[in-house]
Chain A
Amino acid sequence: MLRYSIIFFTTLSLVITLFFSSHCQGETGEKYKRSVKNYEVPDVTLINQEGAKVRLKSFLNSGKPVLVDFVFTTCTTICPVLSIGFSEFQKKLGPENAMVQLVSISIDPEHDTPKRMKEYLRRYDAKPGWDFLTGRKEDIDKVLKALDAYTPDKMSHLPLILLRSRSDNRWVRIYGLIGTRDLLREYQGVLP
């Protein structure tokens, strides 16, 4: 019985994944993969760029639309592109910017101290509403695993943005580096 239900649920989840995920040809010609996933954010306490403790679950459930990415301050390729993307996204949104919460979660928490994260945000001209979180490695790993963003080695991390409009578990997962126009379009697409 158990075996059948495992097979059933595996097939079901495969069908759902196939149904919801799609390859998108971005307006700028770059391809990215979009899917809709159910993720439960773990209730861990992280530290932001000011050194203040942040309870991740309630922080993400503030009611604002949220965009999450996973970066580290000494990262060479993917993170600068993701971060320039966030920076440009904030600029393009203009005044609406205050209505959206951007969250970068460090995947190198041992090195990324609040001081380094603050400096990183400054470099990318981050406006209020973009926070950078670090914390205990075990807690960060828990978050990465829950959001299907975990890789054992930080150098093989993923170009990933998770997007959610309401405080539920339904996330739009954008896999691949994405231009600002496409990101704005995806953002507007999740708004109620």
Chain B
Amino acid sequence: MKRFFQKASRDCGTILLPGILSLLLVFLLNDASATEDTLPLSVAGVSRQEALRLGERMYREGILPSGEPMLAVVQGDIPVDSRIFACVSCHQRSGMGSFEGTVFSPPVNGARLYKPWSKISDLSDSARKKLPRWMQTANFRPAYTDETLAVALRAGENPTGRKFKGVMPRYFLNDSDTEIMVFYLKNLSAESAPGVTATTMRLATVIAGDVSPEDREAMLAPLQFFVTTWGRSRSMELRARKTDDPMYTGYRKLILSVWELKGPPESWLRQLEEYYKKDPVFALLGGIAAGDWAPIHKFSEEHKIPTIFPVTDFPVTSETDWYTLYFSKGFHQEGEATAKYLRRAEISEGTSIVQVFRNNRAGLALSKGFQDTWRGFGQRPPENMMLDQESAVTENFLKELTVNRKNTVLLLWLDDKDLPAIGNLTQGQNGPRMVFVSSSLMGQGLYSLPEKVRSFVYITYPYRLPQEDKGFRAIVEAWLRNNKIPASNLTIESQMYDLVAVLSEPLSMLKSDFYRDYLLEQIDMMEDQSANIALYPHLSFGPGQRYASKGCYIVQLTEGARAKLVKRSEWVIH
């Protein structure tokens, strides 16, 4: 349906090629000059800034300025406490609305509310007149005023007197609450975000710390290719000048800045601020860091700048942060999957779980991922053995872990140089019952795991299995070759391939509404991806979901010289 409206507006724009030059721009200019003159000094007895804060709380959390919940009625007779069903739920952070199933929630941002609007939005008057009559009038409404907007919120009807559907809550708001809400909506997504001009959109990618030249190239080259070929720049640019069709007037030439961060991670945030001050960007794309992604994540949150798919094994794991969309939780996710698998393996009560890891980022992330998830299941925490970065793991050390313990499960978050010691483990009276290792830490060394331990060594594998990935790898390789992008690290290049596959549509769906939250919302609304992406079996999206790949296989290695990985779990383990 959403596509239908876009298609309709696209078709109509083409009919109207010699039309009037962008009514839309005229509106935007009018809006910009009007807001300054009409801004009140205070709103409902509080400062403008405070009114915006209170309005945001009403809109996003459903809490009134008094601190009480906002109450309303939906579907005619269902009382709602807006803390579970706030405005943001349907109309989204940007205010640009949503289309879900059969329910269309129209935009309620300032720029749209105070302009006449219809479902066939964005068309100039002359374009609208070319539509069939029934479409011209469908749901058309004049511009809201503060007064009519107040009526809409409380009585649920628009300026033409048309009643909203029952799914739109009718709010019980007093006069000053209404005044604050109206003021908030008027200012919500009223202007384009920084980084966007009439012809360009500036983006940046972050390269932080001591990243190898190969990895840097693998991240940067595909991204630069994407940016320079976006919308086949030249032809889109020419069309954008000639038409008022929003499909084209929304076209912006993309410019990619490369933000290099040097020195210790503690200084990264400051360096980012400096770059941003000099050259504001609309969003950050990709990026790669030798270290935790946390400083860049923090920058993104503080400035409300979306970061789409950075290449990192060390993301921030949070259920509530908003602005960074990661491929996955990295090492943390492998630890998590292990905990979920063990829970389903129905190991006996008296089982001892011992985690061995080095005091480095990977070791800490894996062990934390396991421990947090395991404890979340109400289980006794595992025993943790943290080793120094340099210390060697010997056969005896591992063997002693299982002596005097019954039914031991060893989580050996170690790397390929520890394989000889792991390979000498034996099951039996004093041996471990199960051993877990991480494929991301072991790398290709994994395949040299001695045969005698393969029956009880389980491996976390957060990608498509190699035998299922062949075709997809070939597609990425062909993509690189055909576009003359040098190949240096196929894993990173596959991630960049996925970034392009995911981002292209949401970016073009923005049309002329350049609000950062709206970009994230467009991605949130995307269909799940599996056939068009490399590396991961499945990427899924949803409002507020910030880790697109949710799974990790637990696999084992088959016997024989040409060993294969075989699944012992589903992609997502519950």
Spell out A's residues near B (CB within 8 Å).
26-30, 47, 51, 72, 74-78, 80-81, 84-85, 88, 108-111, 113-115, 123-124, 134-137, 151-159, 176-181
Pick out which of these stretches binds chain A: B216-224, B394-402, B544-552. B544-552
Known: A80-B85, A159-B103. A153 touches B76 (CB 8 A): no
B542 to chain A, nearest CB (A): 4
Q: A77-B100, A110-B572, A113-B574 are contacts. A30–B76 as well, Cβ < 8 Å?
A: yes
Instruction: Identify which of B78, B79, B102, B540 contacts A158 (C-beta below 8 A).
Output: B102
Given contacts A30-B166, A158-B101, A177-B75, contact A80 B542 (CB under 8 A): no
**Which residues of chain A have C-beta atoms less than 8 A from B427's C-beta?**
none
Given A30-B166, A74-B543, CB of A134 within 8 Å of CB of B574: yes
Which residue on chain B has the smallest CB distance to residue A109?
Answer: B572
Q: Determine if B105 is an interface residue (Cβ-Cβ < 8 Å).
A: yes
Chain B contacts of A176 at CB under 8 A?
A: 102
Q: Which partner residue on chain A sits nearest B574 by CB separation?
A: A47
Q: A84-B80, A111-B550 are in contact. Are A157 and B542 (CB under 8 A)?
A: no
Take A84-B85, A179-B77 as given contacts and tell me if A77 and B574 are in contact as well, using a CB distance cutoff of 8 Å: no
Chain A residue nearest to B79 in the complex (CB): A88
The 8 residue pairs across chains A and B that have the minimum distance between CB atoms = A28-B76, A74-B542, A179-B75, A153-B527, A110-B550, A30-B166, A77-B100, A77-B90
**A168 → B minimal CB distance (Å):** 28
Give the chain B neighbours of A76 by CB distance below 8 A: 89-90, 92, 98, 100, 105, 543
Bound state CA distance, A114 and B543, in angstroms? 18
Sample of 7 further A-B pairs with CB below 8 A, known A110-B551, A153-B528: A28-B166, A74-B543, A78-B100, A110-B528, A114-B574, A154-B542, A178-B75
Cross-chain pairs A/B with CB under 8 angstroms, 16 sampled: A27-B77, A51-B377, A72-B542, A74-B542, A75-B543, A78-B102, A81-B75, A110-B551, A110-B571, A151-B101, A153-B527, A154-B528, A155-B99, A155-B525, A177-B75, A179-B76
CB contact between A85 and one of B78, B102, B538 (< 8 Å): that residue: B78
Q: Among B1, B167, B527, which residue has its beta carbon within 8 angstroms of that of A152? A: B527
Contact assessment for B90 and A84 in the assembled complex, using a CB-CB cutoff below 8 Å: no
| B241 close to A (CB within 8 Å) | no
Per-position 1/0 for B58-82, Cβ under 8 A of A: 0000000000000000111111100
Q: Chain B CB within 10 Å — which of A30, A72, A110, A136 has the most? A: A110
List, in ascending order, chain A residues with CB within 8 A of B383's CB. Answer: none
Which of A77, A85, A110, A153 is close to B103, meaning CB atoms less than 8 Å apart? A77
In the bound complex, residues from chain B placing their C-beta under 8 Å from that of A157 are: 100-101
Most interface-central of A27, A77, A85 (chain B CB within 10 A): A77
Complex Cα distance, B440 from A54, in Å, reads 34
Residues of chain B contacted by A77 (CB below 8 angstroms): 89-90, 98, 100-101, 103, 105, 167
- Chain B interfacial positions (CB closer than 8 Å to A): 1, 74-80, 84-85, 89-90, 92, 98-103, 105, 165-167, 343, 376-377, 525, 527-528, 538, 540, 542-545, 550-551, 570-572, 574
Rounded to whole angstroms, the CA-CA distance of A178 and B1 in the bound complex is 22
How far is B572's CA from A157's CA once the two chains are assembled, in angstroms? 22
Taking each of B74, B78, B100, B545, which has the highest tally of chain A beta carbons within 10 Å of its own beta carbon?
B78
Tell me the interface secondary structure of chain B in the complex.
loop
Find chain A residues with CB under 8 A from B570 CB. 136
In Å, the complex CA distance between A124 and B376 comes to 22
| CA of A155 to CA of B166, assembled, Å | 20
The complex places the Cα of A134 from the Cα of B550 at a distance, in Å, of 14
- Once bound together, how far apart are the Cα atoms of A134 and B572, in whole Å? 11
B76 and A111 within 8 A (CB)? no
Contact B101 A159 (CB under 8 A): yes
Distance between Cα atoms of A53 and B145 in the complex (Å): 54
- Residue from the list B78, B543, B574 in contact with A180, Cβ < 8 A: B78
**Counting chain A CB atoms within 10 Å of each CB, which of B77, B544, B545 scores highest?**
B77
Q: Bound state CA distance, A137 and B343, in angstroms?
A: 19
B166 CB contacts on chain A under 8 angstroms:
28-30, 177, 179
With A51-B377, A158-B102: A111-B545 Cβ-Cβ less than 8 Å: yes
List the A side residues contacting B551 at CB < 8 Å. 110
Contact (Cβ within 8 A) B542 A30: no
The residue from A26, A74, A114, A158 contacting B76, defined by CB atoms under 8 A apart:
A26
Q: Which residue of B lies closest to A26 (CB)?
A: B76
Bound-complex Cα distance A84 to B84 (A): 9
Q: Which residue of A lies closest to B90 (CB)?
A: A77
Residues of A within 8 A of B89 (CB): 76-77, 80
Separation of A76 and B96 alpha carbons in the complex (Å): 13
B544: chain A residues within 8 A (beta carbon)? 74
The residue from B167, B538, B574 contacting A81, defined by CB atoms under 8 A apart: B167
Bound-complex Cα distance A80 to B343 (A): 31
A81 CA / B77 CA spacing, docked (Å): 12
Chain B residues in 8 Å Cβ range of A27: 76-77
Chain B residue numbers with a CB within 8 Å of A153 are: 527-528
Complex Cα distance, B74 from A116, in Å, reads 25
Contacts of A123 in B (CB 8 A): 84
- B540 CB, nearest partner CB in chain A, Å: 5
CB distance from A87 to the nearest CB of B (A): 9
User: Which of A124, A134, A177 is the one whose CB lies under 8 Å from B84?
Assistant: A124
The answer, among B75, B101, B376, B574, for a CB contact under 8 Å with A155, is: B101
| A128 CA to B98 CA, complexed, in Å | 33
**Min CB gap A145→B, angstroms:** 16
Please name all residues of chain A whose beta carbon is closer than 8 Å to the beta carbon of B92 when the two chains form the complex: 76
Of listed B75, B166, B528, B543, residue having the most chain A CB within 10 A? B75
A29 / chain B contacts, CB cutoff of 8 Å: 76, 166
What's the Cα separation between A134 and B166 when bound, in Å? 29
**B-chain residues with CB within 8 Å of residue A155 when the two chains form the complex:** 99-101, 525, 527
Q: How far is the CA of A108 from the CA of B100 in the complex (A)?
A: 14
Kindly provide the distance from the CB of A187 to the nearest chain B CB, expressed in whole angstroms. Answer: 15
Which partner residue on chain B sits nearest A79 by CB separation? B100
Nearest Cβ on chain B to A102's Cβ, whole angstroms: 15
Contact call B167/A110, Cβ cutoff below 8 A = no
Set of chain B residues within 8 Å of A80, measured between Cβ atoms = 84-85, 89
Contact A75 B100 (CB under 8 A): yes
> When chains A and B are docked, how far (Å) is the Cα of A75 from the Cα of B525?
10
Given the known interface contacts A110-B540, A111-B542, the answer about A28 and B75 at a Cβ–Cβ threshold of 8 Å is: yes
- Chain A residues, Cβ within 8 Å of B78: 81, 84-85, 88, 179-180
